Amino acid sequence: MKKGKYISDLYKNIEGKSFSVDEAIKFFVDKKRSKFDETIEISMNLGIDPRHADQMVRGVVSLPNGNGKTMKVAVFAKEKKAEEARSAGADVVGAEDLAEDMQKGNLNYDRVIATPDMMGVVGRIGKILGPKGLMPNPKLGTVTSDVKDAVEAAKSGQVQYRAEKTGIVQAGVGKVSFGPDKLVENVNAFIEAIQKSRPSGAKGTFVKNISISSTMGVGINVNI
């Protein structure tokens, strides 16, 4: 398949070159498309084998400038906690009724949060939520009594990350329209969070490769 002229020109500009984070971000901002606000994505290849529990990398990071995505949040809570979730901006709040709705296939959410007392209900649909990466987890702050903070964090652009089977962690870290300064801050915050999450079982070089790309652009390898 022939590459379009836009992509071909991008490749000509990066071929054989090495970029810092600042240079890579500047490249995408300078080469942005006028009619589409692309997402900037980062991919990190880690020296781990996620099949081993002591080498799993998983967590959350609050990006300084958000990720530019409108997050749709569902919360499992009752009574007072349900009201707190609604006040904080949750899109849907419920209990057994919400679980039934999700069982019907209504899973158009970016984040699912639950209070500890609701995990019995949530557990019944774990086989549905798990494959979608939506299962609430205490380690990710999505099983909590403080639903207000959890909802506000999700809405503000908090990013969840988890290593894939190949040891790659990736995430969207903002829109081209953010400008270079804010994007660089977000990228550096994500890299720092991954470095801090190095598991005890990781041996040798932890961060093997970092690549930054745009939605419709090319991937640029970044100096570690």
Distance between alpha carbon 101 and the CA centroid of its chain, in Å? Answer: 25
**What are the residue boundaries of the structural domains of the chain, listed by start?**
18-66+158-222, 73-155
Q: Copy the structure tokens of residue 16.
A: 């054989």
pLDDT at 2: 45
CATH of domain 18-66+158-222: 3.30.190.20
Q: Of 59, 64, 82, 199, give the one whose Cα is nearest residue 142.
A: 59
Helices (H), strands (E): how many in the chain?
A: 8, 9
pLDDT at 9: 66
Residue 143 carries which DSSP code?
A: B
How far is Cα 146 from Cα 114, in angstroms, rounded to an integer? 10
Q: Is 18-66+158-222's fold the same as 73-155's?
A: no
How far is Cα 66 from Cα 48, in angstroms, rounded to an integer? 28
* Nearby residues of 6 by Cβ (< 8 Å), 6 or more positions away: 33
φ, ψ dihedrals at 211, nearest 5°: -130, 140
The model carries a pTM of: 0.83
- Ranges of the chain with pLDDT below 50: 1-2
pLDDT at 91: 97
SS3 call for 68: coil
| 73-155 CATH fold | Rossmann fold (3.40.50)
How far is Cα 81 from Cα 64, in angstroms, rounded to an integer? 27
